[in-house]
Structure 1
Amino acid sequence: MREIVIIGGGYAGFYTAWGLEKKLRSGEARVTVIDPRPYMTYQPFLPEVTAGSVEARHAAVSLRRHLRTTRLIAGTVVEVRHADRRLTVRPVNGADHELRYDLLVVTAGAVTRTFPIPGLSGQAIGLKHVEEAVAIRDRLMTAFDQAASLPPGPERRKLLTVTFVGGGFSGVEGFGELLSLATAMLKSYPELSADDLSFHLVEARGRILPEVGDAPGAWVVRSLERRGAHVHLNTQLLSAVDGHVVLSSGEEFDSELIVWTAGNASNPVVHNHTDLPVDERGLLVVRPDLRVGTESEPVPDAWAAGDDAAVPDLAVHTPGARTVPNAQHAVRQGRLLAKNIAASLHGGKVRDYRHGSLGVVATLGLGRGIFQYKRLVVKGFPAWLMHRGYHVLAVPSWERKVRVLTVWLTAALFGRDLVSLASVQHPRDAFVTGGNPRPSVLDDASAGA
């Protein structure tokens, strides 16, 4: 049998494998997916996971449950030698080993882009994985518990200060959802008031949400500020040592929770450890039909899609335009990739990727959102409903759709679930201390996973 190896089990990788299972003949090829996690993260749900509006497990789609005939390897690819049709796998446990293949699909996905800012690596947390979203929620709730037992002052103020760095969709949605959660939690904490909360959104550019127009973006800023948030535009984070935030505007404050959502970078294995062609941004050079290479110099038996692929955007008329790295494109590229690979194996015709934008929609907290399609802009509650409707339809499998809808309906009847499980990050503490956790346990849980 042919060996088809897919690097990465995210959107593009999952949908490619899922499609190949349906389109390949029995015994025609063996498909292998290599990913360190046993699930695909549905990232549009992560902001709602931070707010408790979606259960963490419902934002994760099990690879083993849905990829029934695909071989799954829990590990990371550290080197690709396509000229020899071999790659090196570093498993979660065990020594590195080589894997031979006949056809390669690179859908490794992007990683969080960081900068050498003092204190950033020791204080900040990202918002790209389910574990991070859960930790953000638990840290905020733990901070509320701690702050409620303190008198007004700098320590309480720091505990209830939240800083998001990055004004793209991930940052703005996570910021809006967490602000909505914190505001709702005040009802359960009579010791605290809205004046104790301090939420900061820091963006290096002069606007947020670059995918929407200037006017809708400005409306989002005003909406957040009316809710008590501080939006710092044209501002950079200079330092975060020990939670002390220093901004390029000259402002300084202490922040217990710092969330970094300032963009993505290509996966290191793509731009550093492969002999496949990459562009100046470190992305794989890809043809419109998702083969790696150029029209004049295609790379045999290599395909790519998703955030690590510079896929030409045929739906726009701008020369050299590439598709933006979002779920809308990754899902559809994965589906087409499965069809094209099957067609190439069966002697059929492959198709170019072309997808016009369906518009952009973002949640800004419970009951708040924004949607834009060309010149049509919808704000507030209708946009929030559109956000939920679109994503419950887009999340893979009916099982996940039903689970998410059930949680939403339960929350509509009984309100938010305001229980923190930060202690799960230290599961042995209760056993070691005989059921009486030390004061440092909460401190450790709020300081980081």
Structure 2
Amino acid sequence: MIDALIERELERFRTGHPRSAELHERARGSLFGGVPMPWMMLWAGGYPVAVAEASGSRIVDVDGHEYIDLCLGDTGAMAGHAPPPVLEALQAKTGITTMLPTEDAAWVGEELTRRFGLERWLFTLTATDANRTALRIARLLTGRPKVLVYSYCYHGSVDEAFAVDAGGRTVSRAGNVGPPVDVAQTTRAIEFNDLDALEAALAHEDVACVLAEPAMTNMGIVLPEAPYHDALRALTRAHGTLLIIDETHTFSAGPGGCTQAWGLEPDLLTIGKAIGGGVPTGALGLSWKVAQGMLDAAEADYEDTGGVGGTLAGNALSLAAMRATLGSVLTDGAWEHTIPLAERFAAGVREAMGDRPWNVTRLGCRAEYRFEPSPARNGTQAHAASDPKLERFLHLHALNRGVLLTPFHNMALMAPTTTAADVDRHTEVFAEAVAELR
């Protein structure tokens, strides 16, 4: 049955998107997979729609179809597409890149300290870059080789993070591309929410840092169980291990992410995507103690050969975009609009599910449904509950009816420009798809 439904929706998609098909076929002559980045091949129609216009929470494709965008660049466009303050910042009145600071840099640093609490900041172009730098700093300050991560986590293209637990052994995650060394040499992977595993992993006294999202987001939203974060902080301190909190996706929880909302106390904090309003940006926050330790490490060359930053890191355009986004778009008040919309989304999905053994989980202005009776406790459980055919049908069904969801999973994100009518349209479309599955 599901195969027949998918084939019906594929035919509808192909018939309605001839211009996107033409552009994709042309791109196949020069682009790998016919797309700018391989993950764009994951769109449910077999090829992505090509964008003609994007603004607010709307995208219009080259075939003239308009979409309610609940994907929002998988968080990169959390501020909405082309927000006017960011467009103004793109006028580049202070240049694009100069290798010199602007007033915007200090403003953004002060604002990030206000929101997240860490005293010192440096800037990158992506959260991946921030995570890589954070790991180098952690190894420098602790003199230890290992990084602890959670099975099926995601921290960008950081080699050390493509690791999963396999019955007490750390192995490379399936599908990993060209790892430089056996991941067990650099990483210890455990399951999220397992305090016994955490304590045992740290007891080796060789872990430089724990790299963690405060709630996992790559395999659906996996929330921490109380008192996991209290214990995580206590155990890392007891074992001399630094704690890195990656807020790139969990910024959805509020103006200061989960760090502010839950009172977390990381040693380092990484973030990217959303804080630049769509312009490539990333930031790394440092506690006072970490910053001082870096300054005291006289042998470390942060300015040249130490592997920290790059020529375009901290460029004037990115900083101007961050100031515009944080100062005028994703302000503290933005979540007063977006969180209730995510609550509305979750309630609508739950009602449409009826008696199906599925669940929907919310983190601030982000929500996601999964195909298991209760929310997963860890990444491995969430991964096992994936249903690629069902996901493809639901995504393609929504796409053909003018609603975009994140192609890798079932995430919906609310922007300041999202409306209750947008959410209700998704609920209507989702309910139609579920009814067909019955």
Q: What TM-score do you get using the length of structure 1 for normalisation?
A: 0.28
The structure with the larger Rg is 1
Structure scoring higher RCO (CA < 8 A, sep ≥ 6) equals 2
Q: What TM-score do you get using the length of structure 2 for normalisation?
A: 0.28
Higher share of residues assigned helix: 2
